[in-house]
Amino acid sequence: MTLPVRLGTLSSPPKVPYREGQSIGVIPEGIDKNGKPHKLRLYSIASSAIGDFGDSKTVSLCVKRLVYTNDGGEIVKGVCSNFLCDLKPGDEAKITGPVGKEMLMPKDPNATIIMLGTGTGIAPFRSFLWKMFFEEHEDYKFNGLAWLFLGVPTSSSLLYKEEFEKMKEKNPDNFRLDFAVSREQTNEKGEKMYIQTRMAEYAEELWELLKKDNTFVYMCGLKGMEKGIDDIMVSLAAKDGIDWLEYKKQLKRSEQWNVEVY
């Protein structure tokens, strides 16, 4: 089984700067079954470059505690997720990085940024949105369109929901927010509301945006959503005589289609 997600902040020395969209490595304490130190695990950073407290000395993570029973009836705990979720104020954690270029936030303040996330895959998008809507920067003011699609199994899993709704309330012309809650919502056909099901409601509009040079798409979370999104786009592109898979390659080359799934 999986236990609830923990939203946490680690103190970070000023010499570890990071950019929105990057990850850090965490090396849990202890040794593995072979007697060697545990290997690092990568976690997407959920805070903007200046951190939740605005002093550039913290980094926030979104971690799902993993506990399950294996085929032999033994309870198995995810090494790093449980290490992080059990940390108490003042405890030390060994980190590495930051790393990652795939999910870096675009610098164009007038861009259209479409964010597709499932579960804890929301982390990099929270970092984007904090910079756009919760902070003031002399050299950056977001004037474009940010559109977030977040897919989760139950409404209790809608991480940072209140933050996002507050952003939308204050920036109705620049932020669109759509949730897909698969176990609680259905579409008009009675189908479960996965992230691709919600996107299908705006299929034509999304396709028109994808034909523009300043639209950037970011996908983070469960790998399973990638095929469902491709299925939507294949038929839309075909209406314009475009091969979606080839067009997606062009978007990737121009850094307009960015994917980090697991």
User: Could you give the CA distance from residue 94 to residue 141 in angstroms, rounded to a whole number?
Assistant: 34
What confidence score (pLDDT) does residue 139 get? 87
Q: Is 160 a catalytic residue?
A: no
- Residue in the block written with tokens 């390659």: 249
Q: Is 68 a catalytic residue?
A: no
Residue 161's CB is within 10 A of a number of other CB atoms, namely 16
Would you say 14 is a known binding-site residue?
no
Considering 92, 136, 246, 262, which one is annotated as catalytic?
Answer: 262
User: Could you give the CA distance from residue 102 to residue 262 in angstroms, rounded to a whole number?
Assistant: 14
pLDDT at 10 over 80: no
Tens of pLDDT along 102-152? Answer: 999 999 999 999 999 999 999 999 999 999 999 989 889 999 999 999 999
Q: Is 12 a catalytic residue?
A: no
- Residue in the block written with tokens 């799902």: 64
Mean pLDDT score, 19-36: 93
Would you say 23 is a known binding-site residue?
no
Distance (Å) of CA 16 to CA 20, 34, 59, 112, 195: 13, 31, 10, 29, 34
- Supply the mean pLDDT for the chain: 90
Would you say 168 is a known binding-site residue?
no
DSSP bridge partners of 258: 218
Q: Is 48 a catalytic residue?
A: no
Q: Is 218 a catalytic residue?
A: no
Considering 23, 44, 47, 81, which one is annotated as catalytic?
Answer: 44
Tens of pLDDT along 39-55? Answer: 999 999 999 999 999 98
Would you say 260 is a known binding-site residue?
yes
Kindly list the domain boundaries of the chain, sorted by start residue: 2-99, 112-261
pLDDT band at residue 2, thresholds of 50, 70 and 90?
very low
Domain 112-261 carries which CATH code?
Answer: 3.40.50.80
pLDDT at 58 over 70: yes
User: Could you give the CA distance from residue 26 to residue 94 in angstroms, rounded to a whole number?
Assistant: 6
Mean pLDDT score, 246-254: 94
Considering 12, 18, 20, 43, which one is annotated as catalytic?
Answer: 43
pLDDT at 180 over 80: yes
Tens of pLDDT along 63-84? Answer: 999 888 888 888 988 899 999 9
Output 66 or 2, whichever has higher pLDDT. Answer: 66
Fold agreement between 2-99 and 112-261: no
DSSP bridge partners of 25: 42, 96
pLDDT band at residue 9, thresholds of 50, 70 and 90?
low
Q: Which amino acid is at 149?
A: F
The count of residues in the chain is 262
What confidence score (pLDDT) does residue 1 get? 31
CA angle 246, 103, 44 (to 5 degrees): 135
CA angle 19, 20, 26 (to 5 degrees): 75
Mean pLDDT score, 230-248: 91
What confidence score (pLDDT) does residue 235 get? 87
Tens of pLDDT along 186-222? Answer: 888 888 999 999 999 999 999 999 999 999 999 999 8
Query: Does the domain made of 2-99 have the CATH classification 2.40.30.10?
Result: yes
